[in-house]
Amino acid sequence: MIHTFIFDVDGTIVDTEASIFKGLDAVLREYAGREATPEDMRAVFGRPGMEGLQSLGFTPEEAAKLHPKWSTLSKSYADSVQIFAGMEDTLRQLKENNHLLGIVTSKTKESYALNITPFGLDDYFDVIITSSDTEEHKPSGQPLTECLRRLGITEHEAIYIGDSIYDNQCARNAAVAFGLAEWGSHTTEGFDADHIFKAPEDILSLV
């Protein structure tokens, strides 16, 4: 029986797509001599930032240098970031009904603190797993398995809710049910979801 709800962050709890894209565009213009494309965004979204940069052709050393620049640039576009409508109310209702809540994100601890903590949602969550907490990252199931371990529950008691194929694969690799945040993915094509949620409040149908 599902009583624990674990969330991705970008594209699931907060709409960061525009800020991340603008930051990436600034990095690519300065260091690659080209504009960012939608294909670039699909390649990096939902993955740890350094892995994403390497997928775009940067060396590990270059990625290590550029990742904090990208994070800082994205933060400068914070006015375009907002919590998805209905999300905070959904988290509040889940918490009031004594459900365990967790986060598994590809953001580093520093990036999470810089870009997400200011929204004031951290107190809703019992466990927060960033890419700084595990050796392996999404699509590996290790981050989600570590979250389950810290929560003290089994994989059958939880659902992982996210918007990217990497979230889907992470859930499958951890043997956890997957709920697609369609408000962030904008499509169901290519996903293998146990539940599809069109809006955050739809999650409450599992309560």
When the pLDDT of each residue in the chain is averaged and rounded to a whole number, the result is 94
Distance from C-alpha of 147 to C-alpha of 151, rounded to nearest angstrom:
6
pLDDT at 203: 98
Per residue in 59-103, pLDDT (tens digit) is 999 999 999 999 888 888 878 889 999 999 999 999 999 999 999
Task: Specify the pLDDT at position 157.
Answer: 98
pTM to 2 decimals?
0.87
What percent of the chain has a predicted confidence (pLDDT) above 70?
A: 100
Distance CA 165, CA 181 (A): 11
In sequence order, the β-bridge partners of residue 127 are 102
pLDDT by residue (tens digit) across 17-42?
Answer: 888 899 999 999 999 999 999 899 88
- What pLDDT does residue 16 have? 85
pLDDT in tens, 173-199: 999 999 999 999 989 999 999 999 999
The edge-to-edge listing of strands for the beta sheet with 177-181 is 127-129, 100-104, 4-7, 158-162, 177-181, 195-197
Are 28 and 56 in contact by the 8 Å Cβ rule? The answer is: yes
Residue tagged 């520093």 (tokens)? 110
Query: What is the rounded CA–CA span in Å between residue 107 and residue 8?
Result: 10
Q: Per-residue pLDDT for 43 more than 80?
A: yes
Give 45-63 pLDDT, tens digit per residue: 778 889 999 999 999 999 9
More confident residue, 59 or 16: 59
Q: Are 5 and 100 in contact (CB under 8 A)?
A: yes
Lowest-pLDDT range of 68-82, 128-142, 147-161: 68-82
Cβ contact 43:34 at 8 Å: no
Element (H, E) at 129: strand 127-129
Q: Are the CB atoms for 49 and 23 separated by under 8 Å?
A: no
More confident residue, 4 or 110: 4
As a whole number of angstroms, the distance between CA 186 and CA 207 comes to 24
User: How confident is the model at residue 18, as a pLDDT?
Assistant: 87
pLDDT given for residue 92 in this prediction = 98
The confidence score (pLDDT) of residue 75 equals 80
Q: What is the pLDDT of residue 78?
A: 76
Q: What is the reported pLDDT for 169?
A: 97
